[in-house]
Amino acid sequence: MDTPGIYFPTPRRLNPAIPEELRAEFSEARTCFDAKAYRASVMMARHALERTCHMNGATKGTLQTKLEALEKQGTISGDLTEWADLLRLTGNAGSHDDDDVSPEDAKDMLDFTEALLNHLYVLRARFDEFKARRQQKASPNNT
């Protein structure tokens, strides 16, 4: 008879296309979440958002101003702008308010931060490659 075992799921890893410093900050946010340090998790995820702005050329002003700059330059738009702003506000609540950060808010903060990073560093590059392939196929020189 086999001895029953306990298996823990392998933690999700961010795509290697995401810069190492952002992956490290996100990993720290996830470690805080796993330790039930939800306020610390939210603050680390917010810090990853701030660093993302810097790495994409938005370096001046408040985080809100930086996110607006990313939107103006076309780096984020639509839902991503709304997500990023709500992440900013949730991070602010974690660092400034006396209210506790709920596990649900911290989990959402991690999920949407991961989605934003994937969009900026993984999906955008894949889409650009796909678009270039399609344009090359459509090129009259390719017949």
pLDDT digits (tens, 9 = 90+) for 13-31: 789 999 999 999 999 999 9
Kindly state the helix (H) or strand (E) to which residue 118 belongs, with its residue range.
helix 103-118
Between CA 110 and CA 57 the distance in angstroms is: 23
- 106, pLDDT greater than 80: yes
pTM of the model: 0.78
List the chain domain ranges: 20-129
Q: Which residue has the tokens 């738009």?
A: 77
On whether the CB atoms of residues 109 and 49 are closer than 8 A, the answer is no
- The predicted model gives 83-104 an average pLDDT of 79
- Expressed in percent and rounded to 5, the helix, strand and coil fractions of the chain are 70, 0, 30
Q: What pLDDT is stored for residue 140 in this prediction?
A: 72
Between CA 120 and CA 125 the distance in angstroms is: 8
CA angle 26, 114, 64 (to 5 degrees): 85
Between CA 50 and CA 64 the distance in angstroms is: 10
Q: What pLDDT is stored for residue 97 in this prediction?
A: 62
- 105, pLDDT greater than 60: yes
CATH 1.20.120 assigned to 20-129? yes
